[in-house]
Structure 1
């Protein structure tokens, strides 16, 4: 997955190893996330599910 253009969260202060990174998969519309401290551990989902999760978090 290192060949993808990972984007860091805007809440990632100073660029340390405490950042959420995300990239979109062009082939199937999927989205993958990882934590910069453990870049080999990757969570895969789709855009609709990620959008629903973010909306739920914002509503809390």
Structure 2
């Protein structure tokens, strides 16, 4: 995997470690997005564009909360 450029949400910055960062791997033809928590940079999850879209819509529909967490 090439060096990824991580983007942090504009809502982050409170210094409490509750930051999600996103990056895309330009060499990945599937268009998957990499996600990580800023306080756990070595733990990286990937999501397809469809799965990420579903996650974001679910969070928005639940007032910013992740259902079941």
Length-normalised TM-score, structure 2? 0.72
Where has structure 1 moved over 3 Å in runs of 4 or more? none
Residues 1-60 of structure 1 mapped to structure 2, 5 A cutoff: 3-14=3-14, 16=15, 18=17, 19-26=19-26, 27=28, 28-60=30-62
More strand by share: 1
Length-normalised TM-score, structure 1? 0.81
Count of aligned pairs: 59
- What runs of 5+ residues in structure 1 fail to find an aligned partner? none
- Computed over aligned residues only, the root mean square deviation of the Cα atoms, in angstroms, reads 1.9
Give yes or no for contact 2:36–2:45 (8 Å, CA) kept in 1: yes
* Structure exhibiting the larger radius of gyration computed from Cα positions: 2
